[in-house]
Amino acid sequence: MKKRTVTIASEEVEIDIVRSSRRTIALYVRPGGSLQIRAPWYIPIYSLIQFVHQKTGWILRQREKATRVEPAVELKQLNDGSLIPFLGREIVIRICRDTKAATELRGDELFVCVKGELTAEALTERVDMWYLSEAKKYFSRRTHELAAVYSDKLPAPGSIRVRRMKQRWGTCHPNGNIMYNRELLKKEPALINYVIIHELCHLVHHNHSKKYYALLERLLPDYRELRRRLMSM
């Protein structure tokens, strides 16, 4: 297996070439964004590289899909002391007795206060609702903060919404409205910022053209590394 690099949309992308007795060429985008090409022994390297360049549009679509897609995560049944992810760290659930029901994060502890008993199913539902509420507040605030930072290059977004999505971290509609995946709240802030800026750039370019990536790179020079980390998680 030989490793080479090819330039895709102004980015150097690693490609593994695997030779065998197969009769056709097959191209794969792997987790992390690198490429693998499987080919017969007799096809020269330059022909394989040419084949890759012919597939540039497909490669960009697949890498973008890999960046944004995560299997749907169902919140497992929780109990007092369970650890859950939040902004790239783990927080611990604490059940407390109080005169009123409330859910509050204090440092690295999420206190779920109830008047009486709380079943595991009810606790899981409370935490699920807390995630959604926190995601709405966090993504709305952070999106407007980043839009303000880059106001000389980006227009203001429309509405900011959050829901659980099966196949995207976020999506930007032509009318300027942005939707985020609630699961994104579990990732570290740097990766969240990447997704937000990624969507904000779509307010200018509603595609993944070279102009789009040029804008993304001006705003976030290390976006490739951030994308790689998000893809590999």
CATH, residue 199 = 3.30.2010.10
Domain's final residue, options 37, 68, 99: 68
Same structural domain, 137 and 23 = no
Measured distance CA(123)–CA(118) in Å, rounded? 6
Predicted local confidence at residue 224, as pLDDT:
87
SS3 for 49?
Answer: helix
Contact criterion met (CB below 8 Å) for 60 and 39: no
User: Number of folded domains in the chain?
Assistant: 2
Reported confidence tier of residue 168, pLDDT bands at 50, 70, 90: confident
> Does some domain include residue 76?
no
Predicted local confidence at residue 72, as pLDDT:
45
Predicted local confidence at residue 143, as pLDDT:
97
| Lowest mean pLDDT segment, chosen from 61-75, 170-184, 202-216 | 61-75
**Residues 6 or more apart whose Cβ sits within 8 Å of residue 52:** 6, 8, 15, 27, 35, 37, 59
pTM of the prediction? 0.71
CA-wise closest residue to 19 among 45, 47, 39, 49 = 39
Domain's final residue, options 35, 68, 101: 68
Contact criterion met (CB below 8 Å) for 86 and 185: yes
Domain's final residue, options 10, 36, 68: 68
> Does some domain include residue 37?
yes
Same structural domain, 64 and 135 = no
Contact criterion met (CB below 8 Å) for 41 and 19: yes
Same structural domain, 216 and 104 = yes
Contact criterion met (CB below 8 Å) for 91 and 132: no
Same structural domain, 165 and 55 = no
